[in-house]
């Protein structure tokens, strides 16, 4: 017996539904051979299946740059830093372009062993270029080692992950 995931089942059902719709469309067209040919229009996507999550709309925001640094200027710009002291703040600066209302911008710091060292989100409302800074603090000090900063927009990876080290 072949095991399938719920996603595979939903995709298979959508494919079968599309084939059935195409088959029904063919029968309608061939039923009246004397009718004038209909103008071709793109087929509509089948309605979402019950129980399947609705398709997510693509975000209108694109990440143009990710910078990791220690301090932010008044204009929110952050100078790139690759080496941090244990008591330094870690600022993940995310530059975006596009229009957005209530879009979640998140940053996650991962330690060299794969352990999540911090994760935070901010809400973005903009109609153009914007910089969002997410600051991570560790009152006990960051353990020495290598870290990776990753950015997400609406839960999806965005921008180029940045690496830095604490010594």
- DSSP secondary structure, 11-74, as one string: HHHHHHHHHHHHHHHHHHHHH-TTSPPPPP-PPPPPPPPTTSPPPPPPPSEEEEEEEEES-B-T
Radius of gyration for the chain, computed over Cα atoms and rounded to the nearest angstrom: 24
pLDDT single digits (tens) 2-30: 555 554 554 444 444 444 444 444 444 44
In the prediction, which pLDDT does 8 show?
A: 53
In sequence order, the β-bridge partners of residue 65 are: 95
Distance, in Å, from the CA atom of 51 to the CA atom of 49, rounded to the nearest integer, reads 6
* 83-121 confidence digits (pLDDT tens): 999 999 999 999 999 998 999 999 999 999 999 999 999
Q: What angle do CA 139, 144, 145 make, to 5 degrees?
A: 130
Domains in the chain with CATH codes? 1-55 (no CATH), 61-166 (2.60.40.10)
Tell me the average pLDDT across 132-139.
Answer: 96
């Amino acid at each position: 017996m072949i095991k399938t995931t719920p996603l595979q089942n939903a995709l298979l059902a959508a494919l079968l539904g599309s084939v059935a719709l195409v088959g029904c469309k063919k029968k309608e067209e061939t039923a009246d051979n004397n009718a004038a040919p209909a103008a071709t229009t793109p087929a509509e996507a089948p309605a979402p299946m019950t129980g399947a999550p609705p398709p997510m709309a693509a975000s209108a925001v694109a990440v143009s740059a990710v910078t990791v640094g220690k301090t932010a200027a008044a204009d929110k710009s952050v100078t790139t830093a690759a080496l941090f002291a244990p008591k330094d703040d870690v600022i993940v600066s995310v530059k975006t372009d596009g229009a957005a209302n209530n879009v979640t911008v998140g940053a996650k710091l991962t330690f060299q062993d794969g352990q999540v060292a911090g994760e935070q989100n901010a809400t973005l409302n903009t109609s153009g270029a914007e910089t969002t800074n997410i600051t991570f603090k560790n009152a006990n000090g960051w353990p020495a080692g290598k870290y990776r900063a990753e950015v997400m927009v609406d839960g999806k990876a965005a921008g180029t992950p940045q690496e830095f080290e604490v010594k």
